[in-house]
Structure 1
Amino acid sequence: MLEGFTFAQTINRRYWYCSKRKIGCKARVRLGEDGRIIFAFNQHNHVPPRYHISSKDVLEFVPSNRGKGITLIYKGHTYAHIHTKTRWYCSKKAKGCKARLSTTAEGVLVEVLESYHNHEPPTLYRTNDGKVHRL
């Protein structure tokens, strides 16, 4: 991740391209042998994905597959929001999972209200254009 944008690695481990390359983004990064950036063309034709990174937790907000809102991904599990966009429940709530959490309106994790899931996390697949699909 560079300045909020995500990149995918080419076959040559030193060259990276924007993960939205399929929609025409030409941003790219080249690393030196020591892993430091030696070249960056970081001009994108899209907004960066929305992430919040705290000490060890990552919240990722992605459009829902049904196109009716936003899905939250936290520690591999997916969540949907409850009425307000600050209370989230596990997407498997209908199957009896009681996991839920709360965020601020800006998407910062406030509290994990219930962390136990009665199921494994879904298998998620990210396409080259950045979309996330459940397998």
Structure 2
Amino acid sequence: MLNGYTYSQINYTVHWFCSSKMAGCLARIRRLPDGKILRVNTVHNHPPPNYVVCHDGKKENVKMIPTRSGKKFLLMLDSFTYSQINYSVRWVCSSKAQGCEARLRYYPSGEIVRVNTQHNHPPPKYICRNGVYIKL
């Protein structure tokens, strides 16, 4: 996410296109392996996506955090993080390897279906500096 806009990586390269490319947006960036972002064209033909979504009448604040590799994102909901399974709508708790069975579904429309959000551990601690999330 850059300035509120989301981008999708192209074939594991340094090239990222606006997530609304299919809708005609020409914005794109280059993200180097060290994480540095070179702004190539950040002019969008649409407003940034809104990550506050509603489900069952409750507002939920969703954050998308780029992973260290820059190839995927973590989804943060209620201070817990989830990892996407094979670029699908299915997300599992980032602590799944430690036995946590929490999971959810996050649809492109922004809808969240809480399949099981009971965790067997406290949420991870993050700080945000200059728009970058750092796990403590």
For normalisation by structure 1, the TM-score amounts to: 0.59
The amino acid that maps onto 2:135 is R
Q: Secondary structure at the match of 1:56?
A: strand
Counterpart in the other structure of 1:86: 89
Identity fraction in percent? 37
How far the C-alpha of 1:56 sits from its partner, in A, is: 2.5
Counterpart in the other structure of 1:132: 133
Distance 1:84 1:69, change over 3 A: closer
Using CA pairs under 8 Å that are at least 6 residues apart, name the structure with larger relative contact order, 1 or 2. Answer: 1
Larger radius of gyration: 1
How far the C-alpha of 1:45 sits from its partner, in A, is: 7.6
How far the C-alpha of 1:91 sits from its partner, in A, is: 0.3
For each residue in 1:102-131, what CA deviation from the matched residue of structure 2 results, as whole angstroms up to 9, or x when unmatched? Answer: 01123321x111111010000011012x11
Whether the 8 Å CA contact 2:63–2:75 is kept in 1: the answer is yes
Counterpart in the other structure of 1:52: 52
User: Which of 93, 102, 107 is the aligned partner of 1:104?
Assistant: 107
User: Structure 1 residue runs of 4+, over 2 Å off?
Assistant: 44-50, 52-56, 105-108
Q: Which runs of 5+ in 1 are unaligned?
A: 6-22, 24-43
How far the C-alpha of 1:64 sits from its partner, in A, is: 1.3
Q: CA RMSD in A?
A: 2.7
Whole-angstrom distance in 2 between the partners of 1:64 and 1:90: 14
Q: Secondary structure at the match of 2:97?
A: helix
User: Which of 74, 78, 85 is the aligned partner of 2:77?
Assistant: 74
How far the C-alpha of 1:61 sits from its partner, in A, is: 1.4
Aligned pairs, how many?
A: 93
Whole-angstrom distance in 2 between the partners of 1:131 and 1:50: 18
Q: Which runs of 5+ in 2 are unaligned?
A: 6-36
Whether the 8 Å CA contact 2:62–2:76 is kept in 1: the answer is yes
Indicate the larger mover: 63-72 or 115-124: 63-72
Q: Secondary structure at the match of 1:68?
A: coil
